[in-house]
Amino acid sequence: MSEEITPELFARLVELAALELTPEEAEYLRRELNRQLDAIHQLEATPIPEGTPITSHGVPYPRERRAPLRDDRWQPYPNRDALLAQAPETDPEGYVVVPDIPHETLE
């Protein structure tokens, strides 16, 4: 197994992904990432003819198959309170409450 994802690189990815991991989780995830990368490197053995375009959707979308985009219009949801009730914390005015947002004061 390769060590492409080193402990340092792994820690950076975890930070960017905003994930707090237990040591057992971290060990499993780093090992599986490296094993998957071994499988992914197989793609380098496949010749790609010069000029091969990328495919981002399997099926092409010519204009005649597409619905025109909707008007960009505001539509009120009929039950505002039910939506807000899904939020983990709200205040009496209906604002969603979150912990302090980290910030630094610029000189």
Partner 1 sequence: MTELWQLSALDIARLVRRGEVSAREVTQAVLDHIARVDGAPGRLLEPGQDPAAVHAAEPGVHAFITLTADRALAQADAVDAALARGEDPGPLAGVPFTVKDIFTVEGTPSTAGSRILANFVAPYTATAVARLEQAGAVMLGKVNLDEFTFGSSNESSAFQPSPRNPWDLNRVPGGSSGGSAAAVAAYEGALSVGTDTAGSIRQPAAFCGVVGLKPTYGRVSRYGLIAFASSMDTPGPLTRTAADAALALQIMAGADPHDATAVTLPVPDYLAELEKGVRGLRIGLSPDYFRITRVDPATGEWHTEEVRPEIRAAVEAVAQALADLGAEIVPDVPMPHTRDAIPAYFVISRVEAASNLHRYDGVKYGYRTPDPVADLREMYRKTRGQGFGLQPKLRILMGMYVSAAQYSERYYERALRVRTLIRRDFEAIFDPQGPYRLDALLAPPTPTPAFPVGAVYGDSVLMQYADQLTVAANHAGVPAIAIPAGFDGQGLPLAAQFFAPEFREDILLRLAHAFEQATADAAWRARRPGIVG
| Positions in the binding site for partner 1 (CB under 8 A) | 1-2, 5, 9-10, 13-14, 16-21, 25, 28-29, 32-33, 35-36, 38-46, 48, 52-59, 61, 64-67, 69-70, 77, 79, 82-83, 86-89, 96, 98-102
Q: Which residue has the tokens 């302090």?
A: 100
For residue 47, the minimal CB distance to partner 1 (Å) is 9
Residue type at 93 in one-letter notation: E
For residue 51, the minimal CB distance to partner 1 (Å) is 10
Our CB check for partner 1 shows the closer of 88 and 92 to be 88
What CA–CA distance (Å, rounded) separates 38 from 33?
Answer: 9
3-state secondary structure of 97: coil
Q: 3-class secondary structure for 11-24?
A: HHHHHHCCCCCCHH
What does R_g of the chain's alpha carbons equal in angstroms? 24
Our CB check for partner 1 shows the closer of 52 and 105 to be 52
